[in-house]
Every structure is written in C-alpha cells, then in structure tokens.
Chain A
Amino acid sequence: MTGGKHVRKSGVSIRASRWARLVVVLMSLSLLAAACGGGDDDDDGGGGSDPTTETASDPEDEGEPVDGGDLVYGIEAESDGLNPTTNRFAIAGVEMGLAVFDPLTAFDEAGVAQPYLAESLTPNEDFSVWTIKLRAGIVFHDGTPLTSEAIKVHFEGILADPLTSLVPKQIFGSANPVTIVDDLTATVTMAGSVATFPAWLTAQFGMIASPTWIAAAKEDAALNQEPVGTGPFTIDSRQLNTQTKFVKNPDYWQEGLPHLDSVTFIIATDGQARNQNMQAGDLDMMHTTNPEHLNEYIEDDGFDEYIDELNEETFLMMNMTKPPFDDVRVRQALAYGLDRETVIELNDAGFGTIANGLFHPDNLFYTEVDNFPQYDPAMAQSLIDEYCTDVPAECDGGKITFEYKTTPSPDNDLFFQTVQELWSPLATISKIPVEQAAFITEAAVGNYEMVLYRQFGALDPDYDGAFIDQRSLGAISINWPRLDNDEIQALLLQQREEGDFETRKEIWGEITTKINEITPYIWINHTMWGIVAKLEVNGVVGFELPTGQTSYGMNEGRHSLANIWIG
C-alpha cells in the first residue's frame, strides 16, 4: 500500500477526484494481496509481509529525471533544532531531517521497513537482539566516516535525552543497548522481543548523524541548527521560523542522486497564507492538512496532489483519571451524542472519512471493528441521566460539566463551537485556551479534561503503541489519556513479539475493539495529510529504494527528497 492517492493532471480526461479514488483502490487491493503473501520475515523485522512482485499502480510516467533546479517547499511549522538525538522533530522537522540525514530503514510500498542507510538488519531467534550492518564507504558531510560508532552515539544520545527518549525507551533494555562488533556492525539489545524494530528506524529515531557533530553540539547547542548527516543535501543556511536551505551533496552515496541543486523549506504557519503562496506560484510544494484546500487542488488541473488519509486519526481525548471522564458511561455518552457527520460537514466542508478506530479501512492493519458508539442521542441522554443520578456532584441541571482545552486558532475555535452546540443537551463545557508551547505539556502532566488531538499515524502501529503503554504511566506520561488496561497491555506486548503480519493485524483488531469499549478517544476522522506540488515537480513517490523495492508513497507528510527532480 502506498501512502494514498497520487493524482496527476497532465491531459487526463477523467475528473481528477475519481481518478484519485481509482488509484487508491487499485493500490490498496494490490497491497492487500502483497500482505497476504506471507513469507520469511527474518530480514524485514517482522513488520509486514515480503515485498511483492505485484506492484501497485505506478504513477503516470514522469520521464527521465533531469538534474538541477531549486525546490521551494512550504511547511507548516518549525523545528527547535535539527539534532535527531536531542530535538523534537514533528512532521515538518522530519521532512527537513530527510534532506540532511538518511534513516537506517525506509518503508517500501508494502509497508515493510527495508534497509536504507543500513545494509542489513538481522534479528536473533526471539527478536531480542538486532544486528545492524552499515553500508561501507559512506562519509558524513563533515568527513567523518560512517561506522558503527555512529549507531552507538546515536541511540545512546537519544536515550540520554529526557524528551527524545520518551517513546523509544519502551523498547530498549538499557540506556546503553548498543555493542560494537566491528567497524560497520553493531548489535542492539531490546527490552524483550521486538520484531518490529526496523519499522522504528524510518524517521527521526533512525536518522544517523555525525558523531563528531553530536559531540560538538553537546558543547555548543547552537550547532543543533547546523546538522551533519550522510543525506542527499547539506545545510546551507538556517534562519529559525523563516527558512532553512539545503544544497546538493555532491558526494552522496546513492549514485546519480540527488537531482535538485537545493531545497529551501519556508516556514509558513498560516494555512491560508501558505495556500495563497502555493496558488500564486511562490512555492513549488507545500504541506497541508486542510481537506477543503486539498479538494480545490484536486479539482484544479494545475497541480499534483499526494494525499495520505490512511494513517493518522483526529479525535477528542479524555483524561480518564479526572471526573467525569473517570466513568465509562460519560465517555460513551459523549461518543453517542456526537454527530460526527455534522462535525465534518461544518469543519472540513464535508471532506474527510469518519474514523471508528485506530485504522482507516484501507490501512493494511485494518480489521473490521464495529463497536465504536455511533450517533444515538437517546442512548447518550440515558447514559448521562444514569450518571447524574449516581454522581450528582459532577452534574449541574442534569448535565455533566467539564473543561475543554484548546490552542487558540480560528479552526480550533470553530471545532469547539461545533461540539459545544452538539453536546448542549448533555454537557456544559468551558473552553480553556492554552498556547501551543504548553499544550503537550498539559497533556503529559495530565492537566486537562478534554482536548482535540491527532495521533496514531505511524505506518507500523507498534511505534504508536508507546502512547497507550501502561508502563509509561506516571506523573508525567505520554500515555496521554492515562489508559491503564492489562488486557490492552498484554496485547501490545504480544504484537511486538510477533513476526507474522496476519497475527499482528488480528491483535491490533483486538486492541482497537478494547479501546473502543473503554472509549478514551472519541474518533472524529482520519486526518488527511496532503502535499501539493507544481506539475513540473517529479519523483516525489514511487522511486526505487537501494534494496530494489519501490518506496512507500507519502506517510503523514513525510517523503524522501533525494529523488525529486524538476522538469
């Protein structure tokens, strides 16, 4: 399964939106066939099935790549720095990181993590130790040779940082899990069986930086803005919250790549303005999660769109340790009481697919789960009435009362007004604005009752398992809703140890069912991530990986830059 739809407009007479859906269906069917193929998982980390010879529908022939050109790329946010061991990479940060770093693995179109900067990743019998072998002859931009020492410095650096370690420390046995075997080989010891380890290495967590640079950046934090990797581009200039420019690495280890002379990332946080920049031709590519804008571009022949709706979810999240959300009746009542079609109609102009669980129906890990509460105002009211009879202290005039925290933005304000109105028979809600910098902090320390959130976009859901893991519960926790369920915990660990994709898929179906029963999340829709590009921008998806497979399309706005060309 590729990352969703790739829509090209060059002379195609079919309406673009129908073409896009056709492509999605064809891609999904072919990749479902690939997933069912089974096979030997020893070298692919157990994260899925073997690559298949039945490839997905190829993007329209783009012709032969042409060298040269400067790409101007509008992204939605800045990153505090570009050091994968200490800085917080959001999607925008990962995309900039992919310019200057190579990850150890990369997803192929079947959703299997294939070696990328690594030559191979080999597990032991029970997946508790992984041996990473690097490719020979690769040099960092500062001249430091790529050796296994870089792997050691990388992982230990991540685990030593209080922020970047939050998610990955779930899978490591210690703070020093790496043992060097030889110049190019290292072993990594896990905390138990982790068959999915390669899938963790496709983004920030697998981006290997120069150990020389990492050591220097420890002494001078300003160097976090001047990243040094092995990637297709090197840093040229960076003005925070304005733009970051990368130029071609002439000594890149993948011969013939990159094609572009430079990539300049423009930080354009205002979605409307970014959209205007794109339409006026002042950007060559841009990120967007606005379904209405995406639909306009689909209808417009002058652009290409790459859309991923298959991975991340948008949902309302409730803190299960705070009343009234410590009672499942309240959580379910609000789920029953929310007309999500109306929510999407009012907030996303009707574009978007209602979510009923962790996975989009076209996602490889999807199994049909039908136990999420569907709109039923009578049921909602009866649950609230029952709760208010039992716990009158948490109710006022027969309605529950709670706080809704949100970052101040026009879109978020509209969303709040929508849910406030739809829930008016059930609840009295007070809105508490929280600025963005503090928003995640509030969630992490449990200082909230309800928030609107986005999560679960990892191609392999094991990575997102950290956010529902019991072991991360505490005063500060990335298990944001404080989900504490032994059954889910056991299933989580079981799927991590499991090498067979079909078995893992089944387990995730059980996890989703259980989560829906407990209802810490009120699913809204599958987040629509989009990249819009000028027609002359090619090579965004569907290129060949070093291992020979075709790359995954685009996941949550993330994609390789090495193969892009303008012509």
Chain B
Amino acid sequence: MGFLLRRLALLVPVLLVVSFLTFMLMTMLPGGPEVNFLGPQAVQDLSICDDPELDLNTRTACEDTIKIREELNLDDPLLVRYFTWLGNAVQGDFGDSVITGVPVSQTISERLPTSIALMLYAQAIALLIAIPVGIISAYRANGVVDKSTTGLSFALIALPSFVLALVLLFIFGKKLGWFPTRYDIDAAFRDKAKAMFLPALTLGLGLAAVYQRLLRTDLVATLHEDFIFMAKAKGIPARRILFRHALRPSMFSLITVVGIQVGALIGGAIVVEQIFLVPGLGLVITEGILRREFQIVQASVLVITFVYVMVNFVVDILYGFLDPRVRHARSAR
C-alpha cells in the first residue's frame, strides 16, 4: 500500500514539471497565438506600430494584434500565464481553440478514446506475434526460424510506417477488399473494429519486430541460467520449462518497452491516422504544434503524461508479479 501511495504521489510533480516545460517551450517558439488567430494580418514585431506613417492596412493589423494579445493575456509574465492555465486545467477547462472556437477538452475527449483503442489494438497484435515468435526463436536460437525472423524483424524496423501503411492499404484494402480503407466514425462497433485492423496492424508489425527481438534476447540469456539446467536435469518437459520457468523472468525488458510505447502510440501515430483516416490525438497534437495552439498542445501533453505515469505504475506492479523478490523487497521497506 505504501508503495502504491508513493507512486501515485509522484504523479503530481511529474505532471507539473512536464506541463510547465511544455508551456515554456511553446512560448519560446517564433510566432504566437495571435498569428494563428489573425493569420497574415498579425504583426509579430509590434515596434513597427509606432510609425506615424503607417499605411491603413498595417495600422489595422497593429490594432487587431494588440487587441488579441490583450484578450489572450499574452503580455502577462510566463509564470502568471502558466498558473492561470493550471488553475483552469484542474477544473477541466483547457480553454478554446483560438482558430476553431471548439473547447479543447471536447476535442481531446472526442479523440482520446480512438487513440487508446488503436494503441491497445496495436499492442495486442504486436504481443500476439512477438511472444510466440520470440519463444520459438529463443528456443531454437540460430536455427532457421530464428534467422528468418531476425531478418524479417530488421526489415520491419527499418521500413517507414507510411510505406507499410500504403502497402497494406493497397493489398488488403483495395485489391483484396478484405478490410475498409478508411475508418468510419459512424459505423457499428464491429465495422469500426474491422476498419481499425489495418492501422493497428501497421503499428503492431513494427512493434512486434522490436518486442520479438527483446524477448528473444532475454529468453536466450535466461535459458542459459543454472536453474534452467537444473530443471532440464530433473526431466521437466521443455514446454513447461519455457512457459513456467523461463518466460516470466525474461519479460522485464519487454513490459518496460511496452509501457514506454503506450505514450508514443497515443500521441505519435499521426502517419497511420492520416492514411487510414483514424481520428486520433496524433493529428490534433501535430496541428496544434504547427499552428502554435498552446492550449491544445498543453492539454494533450498533460493527458499523455498522465497516461504514461499510470501505465508505468502498472508496469511496476507487473514487475512484482513477474518476480516475487521485487514484491518482497518492497514489502520489507
């Protein structure tokens, strides 16, 4: 219990630090929200507004820019703006998009479930492929299967995701017609799951390659441990050795990387989202960065950070499950 509370307590400072750093970095980027709100009319260097000879166009632009900066409090000190934002954020108010007027919380709540679904789907596909392949490769290390999967894994790791996406789309979507080529948000659950298969497969194959390599490496090392030789000497069947004795201690690297990938998948699957028209958070974040929409980037980073910390919290719990020594060491503290 103490361990749980300590880990949960860490969540708050992590969120504060990450959100402040993001806020500060966004402020330092050239061009601000007034550029996005006013477009080409926004004046970035307000010193030109003091010129009495200004043409009408530019004078109007100056007035509009100054007005927007006042409305958005852009002239307040960084810390004041940050704490104002934080105060609203803890109440669930992340502000409105300066371009579309849509509340940021609405945008995120529309997109986050789809991103989570895609992430879980991709992870499931990756693990369903990686675990059995990793086990077989490790068990028959340097054999035909191991060498083939090694080559295939490196090829998948090297292949850009957009290439894989277009190839899968072309073969399974267009040519064979087995899956829809786009994700329809109004479709029934079953059709949505079918439409999400190709994007999840695109992401999952790349992950499977990495996971398979990690598991294979750790499993090969574990299979050379003394306790495995003891098990073999005792006549325990190979399958039982593999699944009962060797697999669990070999999973540490794998579950660590799976946890890390969660955040990357939620916010970083932009290419796949764009090609398969999956309305996830990746596109929203990218647009927010390109348009200097602070509110969207801030809120998205906060959400992803929260998910990251919670997932890694679960990973820590799993460590204890995989290795009782870890659990006992925690209890002893």
Q: Which residues of A contact B (CB under 8 A)?
A: 80-81, 88, 162-163, 166, 217, 220-225, 239-243, 245, 264, 266-270, 272-273, 276-277, 279-283, 435-438, 440-441, 443-445, 472, 474-478
Min CB–CB distance A53 → chain B (angstroms): 45
Specify the chain B residue showing the minimal Cβ separation from A79: B100
Min CB–CB distance B172 → chain A (angstroms): 10
Is B40's CB under 8 angstroms from A242's CB?
Answer: no
Residues of B within 8 A of A281 (CB): 177
Is B174's CB under 8 angstroms from A280's CB?
Answer: yes
Residues of A within 8 A of B58 (CB): 474-476
Min CB–CB distance A223 → chain B (angstroms): 7
Is A266's CB under 8 angstroms from B40's CB?
Answer: no
Is A273's CB under 8 angstroms from B42's CB?
Answer: no
Is B102's CB under 8 angstroms from A280's CB?
Answer: no
Min CB–CB distance B123 → chain A (angstroms): 23
User: How far, in whole Å, are A472 and B42 apart by their CA atoms in the complex?
Assistant: 16
User: How far, in whole Å, are A222 and B58 apart by their CA atoms in the complex?
Assistant: 28
Residues of A within 8 A of B211 (CB): none
Knowing that A241-B283, A242-B277, A436-B290 touch, tell me 19 more A-B residue pairs with CB under 8 angstroms.
A81-B100, A81-B101, A162-B38, A166-B41, A224-B101, A239-B279, A240-B100, A266-B277, A267-B277, A268-B277, A272-B275, A273-B275, A273-B276, A277-B181, A437-B292, A474-B57, A475-B43, A475-B55, A476-B40
Is B173's CB under 8 angstroms from A276's CB?
Answer: yes
Is A476's CB under 8 angstroms from B102's CB?
Answer: no
Selected from A225, A280, A478, the residue in CB contact (under 8 A) with B181 is: A280
Min CB–CB distance A472 → chain B (angstroms): 7
Most buried by B among A162, A282, A472: A162
Min CB–CB distance B35 → chain A (angstroms): 6
Q: Answer yes or no: B150 CB below 8 A from chain A CBs.
A: no
Selected from A241, A245, A272, A283, the residue in CB contact (under 8 A) with B287 is: A241
Is A435's CB under 8 angstroms from B290's CB?
Answer: yes
Is B177's CB under 8 angstroms from A437's CB?
Answer: no
Q: Answer yes or no: B93 CB below 8 A from chain A CBs.
A: no
Specify the chain A residue showing the minimal Cβ separation from B35: A441
Selected from B35, B101, B170, B180, the residue in CB contact (under 8 A) with A222 is: B101
Is A222's CB under 8 angstroms from B96's CB?
Answer: yes
Is B276's CB under 8 angstroms from A441's CB?
Answer: no
Interchain residue pairs A-B with the least CB separation, the first 8: A221-B101, A444-B40, A242-B279, A474-B57, A222-B101, A280-B181, A162-B41, A280-B174
User: How far, in whole Å, are A163 and B39 apart by their CA atoms in the complex?
Assistant: 7
Residues of A within 8 A of B101 (CB): 81, 217, 220-225
User: How far, in whole Å, are A36 and B27 apart by their CA atoms in the complex?
Assistant: 60
Is B41's CB under 8 angstroms from A163's CB?
Answer: yes
Most buried by A among B41, B60, B177, B291: B41
User: How far, in whole Å, are A475 and B59 apart by their CA atoms in the complex?
Assistant: 10
Tell me how many residues of B have a C-beta within 8 Å of chain A: 48
Min CB–CB distance B102 → chain A (angstroms): 5
How many residue pairs, one in A and one in B, have C-beta atoms under 8 Å apart? 130
Q: Answer yes or no: B169 CB below 8 A from chain A CBs.
A: yes
Specify the chain B residue showing the minimal Cβ separation from A163: B39
Min CB–CB distance A526 → chain B (angstroms): 26
Q: Which residues of B contact A (CB under 8 A)?
A: 31, 35-36, 38-44, 48, 55-58, 60-61, 64, 96, 99-103, 107, 110, 166, 169-170, 173-174, 177, 180-182, 185-186, 274-277, 279, 283-284, 287, 290-292
Residues of B within 8 A of A241 (CB): 279, 283-284, 287
Is B96's CB under 8 angstroms from A273's CB?
Answer: no
Specify the chain B residue showing the minimal Cβ separation from A220: B101
Residues of A within 8 A of B177 (CB): 280-281
Residues of A within 8 A of B170 (CB): 276
Residues of A within 8 A of B174 (CB): 276, 279-280
Specify the chain B residue showing the minimal Cβ separation from A278: B181
Residues of A within 8 A of B274 (CB): 269-270, 273
User: How far, in whole Å, are A266 and B101 apart by their CA atoms in the complex?
Assistant: 21
Selected from A242, A436, A440, the residue in CB contact (under 8 A) with B185 is: A242
User: How far, in whole Å, are A264 and B186 apart by their CA atoms in the complex?
Assistant: 11
22 contacts between A and B (CB under 8 A): A81-B101, A162-B38, A162-B39, A162-B64, A222-B103, A240-B100, A273-B166, A273-B274, A277-B182, A277-B277, A279-B174, A280-B173, A280-B177, A282-B181, A435-B290, A436-B290, A440-B40, A441-B40, A441-B42, A444-B39, A474-B57, A476-B61
Specify the chain B residue showing the minimal Cβ separation from A245: B186
User: If the complex has contacts A222-B102, A243-B185, are A472 and B57 also in contact, measured as CB distance less than 8 A?
Assistant: yes
User: How far, in whole Å, are A269 and B279 apart by their CA atoms in the complex?
Assistant: 12
Is A272's CB under 8 angstroms from B166's CB?
Answer: yes
User: How far, in whole Å, are A284 and B31 apart by their CA atoms in the complex?
Assistant: 40
Min CB–CB distance B68 → chain A (angstroms): 10
Is A162's CB under 8 angstroms from B60's CB?
Answer: yes
Specify the chain A residue showing the minimal Cβ separation from B276: A273
User: How far, in whole Å, are A282 and B184 apart by their CA atoms in the complex?
Assistant: 10
Selected from B41, B166, B291, the residue in CB contact (under 8 A) with A437 is: B291
Selected from B36, B57, B100, B180, the residue in CB contact (under 8 A) with A476 is: B57
Min CB–CB distance A168 → chain B (angstroms): 14
User: How far, in whole Å, are A264 and B277 apart by their CA atoms in the complex?
Assistant: 14
Is A441's CB under 8 angstroms from B39's CB?
Answer: yes
Min CB–CB distance A139 → chain B (angstroms): 26
User: If the complex has contacts A241-B283, A476-B58, are A273 and B36 also in contact, measured as CB distance less than 8 A?
Assistant: no
Residues of B within 8 A of A440 (CB): 39-40
Is A276's CB under 8 angstroms from B169's CB?
Answer: yes
User: If the complex has contacts A162-B38, A162-B64, are A477 and B102 also in contact, measured as CB distance less than 8 A?
Assistant: no
User: How far, in whole Å, are A411 and B144 apart by their CA atoms in the complex?
Assistant: 42
Most buried by A among B31, B40, B41, B57: B40
User: How far, in whole Å, are A222 and B100 apart by their CA atoms in the complex?
Assistant: 6
Specify the chain B residue showing the minimal Cβ separation from A267: B277
User: How far, in whole Å, are A88 and B291 apart by their CA atoms in the complex?
Assistant: 15
Min CB–CB distance A214 → chain B (angstroms): 13
Selected from B31, B182, B276, the residue in CB contact (under 8 A) with A438 is: B31
User: How far, in whole Å, are A14 and B222 apart by their CA atoms in the complex?
Assistant: 71
Residues of B within 8 A of A88 (CB): 39
Min CB–CB distance A158 → chain B (angstroms): 14
Specify the chain A residue showing the minimal Cβ separation from B173: A280
Specify the chain B residue showing the minimal Cβ separation from A272: B166
Residues of B within 8 A of A224 (CB): 100-101
Residues of B within 8 A of A435 (CB): 290
Residues of B within 8 A of A220 (CB): 101
